[in-house]
Amino acid sequence: MGKVPTREKNIFYRMDRAAFGVIYGAILVLSILLGMEDKTEEPFRIVVVLFGSVLAIVLSKSFAEAIAYSIETGEPLDRHAFQKGWWHSRASLVTANLPAGLIGMGAVGILSVDLALGISQIYCIFLLTFFGARVGWVVDRRAMPAFLGALFSGGLGLFLGGMKYILH
């Protein structure tokens, strides 16, 4: 018999722990990408704006969490408070890596910038759909709640896209 992996080595355990950051990051990245579709002639600018914006937001969120934690607990604002905030937020930054890389590939001509933007948007919607399904599965351990969770979360991504086209 094979050895059962420990909780920490289980892929779902690690993904579940990163869920907040990935979901938050997917919504951030998708929102930024949707605002950049008319800038396809400046792909390097898109990469800088995308990664720089997500980095600034993640660092701001980490800082805010550290300050709030210190106020809430009365513990000093030290390295551990910042580490806790960073741990909770870093997956948001990681979520921007694939889209930034794809758009960078578009910038150097490996693929078209429009295709890179499209794949990146689908990636973000996939992440939202996956974690929506995951929450439905974790809560009820049945296919229908997982499907409905995926539909709801993926629909949120499509809703953001629709809002962009309506407001643009």
Residue spans of the domains in the chain: they are: 16-167
**Rg (alpha carbons) of the chain, rounded to whole number:** 18
What is d(CA 167, CA 62) in angstroms, rounded to the nearest whole number? 31
Could you read off the pLDDT of 56-110 as tens digits, one per residue?
999 898 888 888 888 988 888 888 777 877 777 788 889 999 999 999 999 999 9
Instruction: Determine contact, residues 147/167, Cβ cutoff 8 Å.
Output: no
Three-point CA angle 125, 131, 10, nearest 5°: 130
Predicted confidence at residue 1, as pLDDT, reads 46
Residue 89 or residue 21, greater confidence: 21
Query: Residue 78 CB: number of other CB atoms within 10 A?
Result: 10
What is d(CA 153, CA 54) in angstroms, rounded to the nearest whole number? 21
- Its pTM stands at 0.84
Over pLDDT 90: what percentage of the chain? 48
Predicted confidence at residue 4, as pLDDT, reads 47
Residue 75 or residue 9, greater confidence: 75
